[in-house]
Amino acid sequence: MKKNFRLLIQYDGTDFHGWQIQGSERTVQGELTKAVSIIEGEEVFVCGSGRTDAGVHAEGQVANIKISREIGPDKLKAALNGNLPFDVRIVSVDAVDDSFHSRFSAIGKTYRYRVVNSSVMSPLLSRFASLEYRELNLEKMIEAACTFVGQHDWTAFSAAQSDSEDKVRTVSKFIVTSHFSEIANGNIFEFEVTGDGFLRYMVRAMVGTLLEVGRGERSTASIAEAIQSRDRSLSGPTATASGLTLVRVYY
Amino acid sequence: MKKNFRLLIQYDGTDFHGWQIQGSERTVQGELTKAVSIIEGEEVFVCGSGRTDAGVHAEGQVANIKISREIGPDKLKAALNGNLPFDVRIVSVDAVDDSFHSRFSAIGKTYRYRVVNSSVMSPLLSRFASLEYRELNLEKMIEAACTFVGQHDWTAFSAAQSDSEDKVRTVSKFIVTSHFSEIANGNIFEFEVTGDGFLRYMVRAMVGTLLEVGRGERSTASIAEAIQSRDRSLSGPTATASGLTLVRVYY
């Protein structure tokens, strides 16, 4: 009888080719699969709440695994961390009902995107942020971010190679903040977005679009037009992966 | 006629064998020397406010260079950053009086040491912190840190191979704080110490000693005894380099 365990996972995505196993590339799912399979003695499928792309980080990714090895959650956590490289860590392990599925049971996610607004990217911040050296208008970006909230067809804000047929998702919250940081030698802007699900590149396309607004290159009204058009060419560029972190998955 | 420039420098010390040039090792001073020498057309001495050891970071290291190349501070900053690897950055460049000497003109420094108190080291924090999984008592460490404040002979808290003859330094401030961090999955303890100068390994030995106090393995009184003894074996272990950052140099 296999037991189902939920894993809370953090990773620094810098040196990973994303979550999903693909050939011989170094991926988070690949490292986890190796670590779990050593414990189980045979290959185990590590089911994640969703993929993250190359270079994207996680503070709270969730996965579940079904294993027959008799082991408690705390020992499993220690054993997994012992078998994993230091850029991916298991924060907690919980025994869960057999019906728990990290992907299908998820009801929402929060992502955070961090931008350093300075002439120079601090080496103390560079792994988990992207750089914008031009001036950014916070108020305009806060106003524009409201346009994203609601249920929409997000075709204009997703990758052409997105494998989801259904492009309708609901964004429930989009918070834009800014604070001065001595380390950054300027302001750090944070974009925190919560929704019931996100298409591939969707958060990064939304942030890339908001940064155009912040630089005064695009109006708030143009965002609603872009959403309605379902035309990828009307939204902004995909912001770099390094700034993006999966903060939390809701169940 | 050479002009004197003050450089404000940040680096992620993880992949450096410290500040000072030594043979073919990758060092911060070595990378800066290469970058400045390209601009000047001949080898230039990069004079730092002091060394940092292998793995130690800087948010505000200061150096000065004397060059004959006709170039303004802003262009020099851009040119240097263009010639430097991304883990070391020039935050600002100022033209200064010929008498300015980054080491001899310095009147004080602030260092910060960061400890993640958790069962697991978050990969999002690991480059700039060290891990302590045992319980730490904040109040005891705050009380013990006061013992360090004042003018003392720090022989018991410095490396045997320290090259300073005079071991007397004044610590003017030692602040210990703690805050819960969701990313850390526990508390982050910060030790911020300011003084007129520090011997080699001094901050890390002070922090290593305070952590013994925090874990209940040593009394506050034993710190004054250790200082007075001038015996390295009576102070605590040298805390790992990764947690230490040179925050600021005062002039």
Instruction: Looking at the complex, report in whole angstroms how far the Cα of residue A221 sits from the nearest Cα belonging to chain B.
Output: 36
- Select from B1, B9, B6, B77 the least CA-distant residue to B39: B77
pLDDT at position A20, please? Answer: 97
The third-level CATH classification (topology) of the domain covering B3-96 is: Alpha-Beta Plaits (3.30.70)
Q: How far is Cα B142 from Cα B146, in angstroms, rounded to an integer?
A: 7
For residue A179, the cross-strand partners are A188
The gap from C-alpha A138 to its chain's centroid, in whole angstroms, comes to: 23
Residue B59 has pLDDT above 90, yes or no: yes
Contact assessment for residue A202 and residue A158, using Cβ atoms and an 8 Å cutoff: yes
Contacts of B185 in chain A (CB under 8 A): 91-92
DSSP category for residue B131: E
Contacts of A87 in chain B (CB under 8 A): 123
Q: How far is Cα B8 from Cα A248, in angstroms, rounded to an integer?
A: 37
Residue B163 has pLDDT above 80, yes or no: no
Q: How far is Cα B91 from Cα A21, in angstroms, rounded to an integer?
A: 39
Residue A113: left (phi > 0), alpha (psi -120 to 50), or beta? beta
In chain A, residues under CATH classification 3.30.70.660 are 108-250
Contact assessment for residue B13 and residue B56, using Cβ atoms and an 8 Å cutoff: yes
Q: How far is Cα A237 from Cα A234, in angstroms, rounded to an integer?
A: 9
Residue B101 has pLDDT above 90, yes or no: yes
Residue B63 has pLDDT above 90, yes or no: yes
User: Do residue B81 and residue A120 have CB atoms under 8 angstroms apart?
Assistant: yes
Q: Which two tokens stand for residue A85?
A: 């490289």
Instruction: Looking at the complex, report in whole angstroms how far the Cα of residue A21 sits from the nearest Cα belonging to chain B.
Output: 20
- Select from A227, A38, A220, A225 the least CA-distant residue to A141: A220
Q: Which two tokens stand for residue B75?
A: 């262009």
Instruction: Calculate the alpha carbon distances from B210 to A83, A227, B119, B238 in Å.
Output: 32, 56, 20, 11
CB-based burial label for B134 (10 Å; 0-12, 13-18, 19+): exposed
Q: Which of B12, B15, B53, B196 is catalytic?
A: B53
Closest CA in chain A for residue B74? A119
In chain B, residues under CATH classification 3.30.70.580 are 3-96
Confidence of residue B1 (pLDDT cuts 50, 70, 90): confident
The list of chain A residues with pLDDT below 70 reads 161-163
Summarised one tens digit per residue, pLDDT across range B173-183 is 999 999 999 99
Q: Helices in chain A by DSSP H: which ranges?
A: 28-40, 73-83, 138-146, 202-214, 221-229
Closest CA in chain A for residue B183? A59
Residue from the list B77, B128, B185 with its beta carbon closest to the beta carbon of A91: B185
Residue B9 has pLDDT above 80, yes or no: yes
What is the percent of chain B where pLDDT is above 90? 96
pTM summary value: 0.94
Instruction: Calculate the alpha carbon distances from A75 to A70, A94, B183, B192 in Å.
Output: 10, 11, 22, 36
DSSP category for residue A185: T
Q: Which two tokens stand for residue A62?
A: 């969730």
- Chain A residues with CB under 8 Å of a chain B CB are 10-12, 57, 59, 77, 81, 86-92, 119-124, 126-128, 182-183, 185, 245
Summarised one tens digit per residue, pLDDT across range A60-117 is 999 999 999 999 999 999 999 999 999 999 999 999 999 999 999 999 999 999 999 9
Summarised one tens digit per residue, pLDDT across range B106-162 is 999 999 999 999 999 999 999 999 999 999 999 999 999 999 999 999 999 998 766
DSSP category for residue B216: T
Whether B97 is catalytic: no
Contact assessment for residue A106 and residue A62, using Cβ atoms and an 8 Å cutoff: yes
- Select from A90, A109, A153 the least CA-distant residue to A244: A109
Percentages helix, strand, coil for chain A (3-state, rounded to 5) are 30, 30, 40
Interface test with A, best of B14, B86, B91 (most A CBs within 10 A): B91
User: Do residue A59 and residue B182 have CB atoms under 8 angstroms apart?
Assistant: yes
Instruction: Determine the CATH number of domain A108-250.
Output: 3.30.70.660
Write the single-letter amino acid at B180. F
**What is the mean predicted confidence (pLDDT) over B42-66?**
97
Q: How far is Cα B38 from Cα A179, in angstroms, rounded to an integer?
A: 37
User: Do residue B126 and residue A10 have CB atoms under 8 angstroms apart?
Assistant: no
Residue A150: left (phi > 0), alpha (psi -120 to 50), or beta? left
Q: What is the mean pLDDT of chain B?
A: 96
pLDDT at position A160, please? Answer: 74
